[in-house]
Amino acid sequence: MERNIGFKERRYIEELRILTKSTALDCVIDDRFDRVIYVIRPGDMGLAIGKKGENIRRLANVLGKRIEMVEFADTPDSFITNIFKPAEVSAVEHPQEDGPVNVYVRQKSDLGIAIGKGGCNIEKARLLCRRFYGFDVGEVLLAPLEAV
Same domain, yes or no: 65 and 26:
yes
Instruction: Name residue 68's amino acid.
Output: E
Give the CATH number for residue 119. 3.30.300.20
Last residue of a domain, one of 19, 37, 71: 71
Q: What is the DSSP string of 80-105?
A: HHHHTTTS-EEEEE--SSSS-EEEEE
Same domain, yes or no: 65 and 24:
yes
Same domain, yes or no: 18 and 50:
yes
Reported as a single tens digit per residue, the pLDDT across 17-49 is: 999 999 999 999 999 999 999 999 999 999 999
- Count: domains in the chain: 2
Reported as a single tens digit per residue, the pLDDT across 96-142 is: 777 889 999 999 988 999 999 999 999 999 999 999 988 889 888 89
Same domain, yes or no: 88 and 133:
yes
**Is 2 domain-assigned?**
no
pTM of the model: 0.90
Same domain, yes or no: 46 and 104:
no
Kindly state the DSSP code that residue 64 receives in the 8-state scheme: S
130, 136 contact by CB (below 8 A) = yes
